[in-house]
Chains A and B, each alone.
Chain A
Amino acid sequence: GAGVSQSPRYKVTKRGQDVALRCDPISGHVSLYWYRQALGQGPEFLTYFNYEAQQDKSGLPNDRFSAERPEGSISTLTIQRTEQRDSAMYRCASSLGAGDRTGELFFGEGSRLTVL
């Protein structure tokens, strides 16, 4: 696609429910990143992929969070048994190179998760 697309844009869920957030990166972009952004704060790294391989998941807060990118394109971030502290904007970004940190990140518009 022309830009990074995320869905849903807004998700309200009850505590204890599972949620899945989807990211469709720019076509041809090899690297895909997930960040979480609290209100007024900078993006906090969660995990990233080169192609379908998850290269680093050190930022995932706990084992309720997982991510996959099975075909090296679309990625899903799943949060199981959501808690109120999971409420945040979840942003996806992609870049052209395979872990080439000289390539700028292109961000999606984010998925705002609210856990009641």
Chain B
Amino acid sequence: DTVLTQSPALAVSPGERVSISCRASEGVNSYMHWYQQKPGQQPKLLIYKASNLASGVPARFSGSGSGTDFTLTIDPVEADDTATYFCQQSWNDPYTFGAGTKLELK
């Protein structure tokens, strides 16, 4: 299975820029997607196919990368962005998710 590795946690101050990384154990082309999950809620799509902003998602969110290395960037970070962020690949079978990066605000 394709393993997606994310850093476990990050802490930033409101107004700053934060980059959340996701590294795949094998190539996934550009079929990497990003989700935001707040406690007790379902995941919400932010970015699809590496760099495409999902409908209704603020332009503060952006994505980049291809192959094995991907990044989700939030600039500027707002208090409401406190959540866990998951990457997910749909190039290789089975679909897999990263373990999530918990973003906390200082």
Chains A and B come from one and the same complex: no
